[in-house]
Structure 1
Amino acid sequence: MNASERLGDLLRELAPRVLGVLLHRYGGFEECEDAVQEALLAAATRWPAEGVPESPRSWLVTVASRRLIDQVRSEQARRREAAAAVREAPDAGLAPAPGDESPRDHDDTLTLLFLCCHPVLTPASQVALTLRAVGGLTTAEVARAFLMPEATMAPRISRAKQRIKAVGASFETPGAQERAGRLDAVLHVLYLIFNEGYTAGSGPDLHRGELTAEAIRLTRTVHRSLPDDGEVAGLLSLMLLTDARRVARTGPDGALVPLAEQDRSRWDAAMIKEGTALVTGAMSASALGPYQLQAAIAALHVQAPRAGDTDWEQIRILYAILTRIAPNPMATLNHAVAVAMTRGPRAGLELLESLDGDHRITRHHRLHAVRAHLQELAGEHAAARENYRLAARRTTSLPEQRYLRDRAGRLDR
């Protein structure tokens, strides 16, 4: 890792902590978040030349506080009361302000995640705001991650902050009853960020490392705050066990390599060991949940030394449980594959028929890709060829398009 990457990691780690300090002192999510972004930009510009200060968090708090001072001083009479409060902020210099070194960083980060995943926001806005405020990404970086113009992403983030302000959401950890629901939203947002990075929804690359790395980093933060929560551990395990296979998922030309054909010696053994230990501990000590089940399935895949050694019967059982406790079309899709591998491709195809009326997935390319794969296994090559081509037309990921067209082309020979 070079100096620029180390600096980027440091700033991303500090961003939610600095924002937490400002929100505790002044309130006003939008104003504080804008001030933190300006402080991060100043650090990214100055620290490479001047060196990282002895207390980088205090440096960022001071610069961000000055930004708030300037903002408030420019306001008119309606902001005078706020200006009086902000003028009590630390003055110039890099010494820690009183209370800056209190050990509340992890709680602040978790509280900030709860705020960014407020139920008043759509999932898309929750993801964007989480990457900006908690991940420390600039608006341009968030836009680039989702392959959309900054001019499109900026209003989305701005509207999200305005919605939070409009409902009067405060920077406080929700009460016990609300916290459970909000934690579900936090985990779902982190899951969405990871999935978008692991299999990019569009564009020339199959994988976006900045998104998977950020999702894993933030999930580790939640796990440190809630070490006894089985679903938090399950999600972190799922990410690690999945990302462990990343380098083997593409060939030298960037083409997709399916799981069964991957060089398993290239998988990350350390990530597999950590992920396996996490899910084993979670399943033995807490109530079973969907992230734990998915992690257990991922563990069975990576523990097989060869594709032919995969314990598909155990995977089938786990997917049957998953579809019962957390029914969704993607779980049913994967369950159909496991059924095909244990009971034969026609049994899997029969299960897929239950999804034909589900609008959540009928236009998704994966339904057609899985059906094509099972049809190919069943010897129905003409039907498989058509479904591979249909799946290729319905994905905007170029590596997936190439793979699916290649599969169709093989059936022409």
Structure 2
Amino acid sequence: MDFQPTERQSHWRDRVRDFIEKEVRPAVPTYKAQDAEGDRWKVIPVVEELKEKAKAKGLWNMFMPPRNDSHHHVDESFEFEGPGLTNLEYAMVAEELGRIGFASETMNCSAPDTGNMEVLHRYGTREQKEQWLAPLMAGEIRSAFLMTEPQVASSDATNIETSIIREGDEYVINGRKWWSSGAGDPRCKVAIVMGKSDTSAQRHQQQSMILMPLDAEGVTIERHLPVFGYDDAPHGHMEISLNNVRVPASAMLLGEGRGFEIAQGRLGPGRIHHCMRTIGVAEEALEKMCKRLQAREAFGKPIYKHSIWEQRVAQARIDIEMTRLLCLKAADMMDKVGNKAAKQEIAMIKVAAPTMALKIIDDAIQAHGGAGVSDDFGLAQAYAHQRTLRLADGPDEVHARSIARMEFARHAPTEDEMETYSSGDMGATR
């Protein structure tokens, strides 16, 4: 067990950290000013400028899986490759990206594009890759992922009702989706839609995923869904109705009935990318908290000298370090033994990371007093964003259920033990 980062891990982390501190952080005031002007749903010029700088430095598409990734289903087209970072290498990069909200986009590493590009990379046909993956990887267009629905508990994805029915050379899509992240961006051109193509098949073989142009006839953005009042523009989360939307049969991903298979391939890395960025969010909140506590006085002494704050800051540092180690372990396991074997670790970090960050952001808000709940320090917005992550990519309860089931299976009592444990006579077992 080696806790020292390798030269390659440090190389990528440090280059990204350097770019964020020298280029992205100084651009924050410009971003805020441009974001506040005119229409909410627009391209922000400073982000486009930063994208060109990042691309020139090779800090681009760093989430794309390495070439030896075992999940390729279709063609081995090597022009659709990123720098080939492992999950562990990318974990260290993503932590840095989490420090500033729009940093990920400057390097073409923002959700849901990352997950969608991985799906196209792993499961797409040559035609699908050329049509959608190439412009996504170039940062020319954006994409959305349409899974959750307002009418059903989508935490159990077998509940989803959107229909994807074959008619001749086309599929016809009908349904209503919401929390369609990214659909507010004017560059959002394509969505991956999950729906049912065969309701008579086995429970996990009814669903398919299909590529749908957002400008197709019958696609209507019904409303925008703010998070605690934040619109998350220019990205946004939309409720979208799909009324007899027709797409060519060639838009089907991997084949009918393989939606869950694709979802598992997509959600493993997607879940952990969120967790990695969350650690950066927590570090940023802790830094602001420490600076604020040392800069203000109350009751005759600097606030940080009041013992309650020593407790909170110490606990924050402990929690960040523990969470980071679990996150790196999960990423390392994904690289070494695969996403399936790392399932419990991925579920654990998905529960632990947002909960940890929310506590630290909440303490940071408290340290800032009234300023903490304002827009001045970005803490209220960070809290709103992190709170959604306890629901996104599966709610905490679903992951906890999965963790517990694996634990129960690991410690299932034998017949003899059943008798002992049910009778309460522990003398014989220890």
- Hey, which of these two has a bigger chunk of strand by percent? 2
| TM-score above 0.5, yes or no | no
Q: Which has the higher helix share?
A: 1
TM-score between the two structures when normalised by the length of structure 2:
0.30
Q: Give me the TM-score of the superposition, normalised by structure 1.
A: 0.31
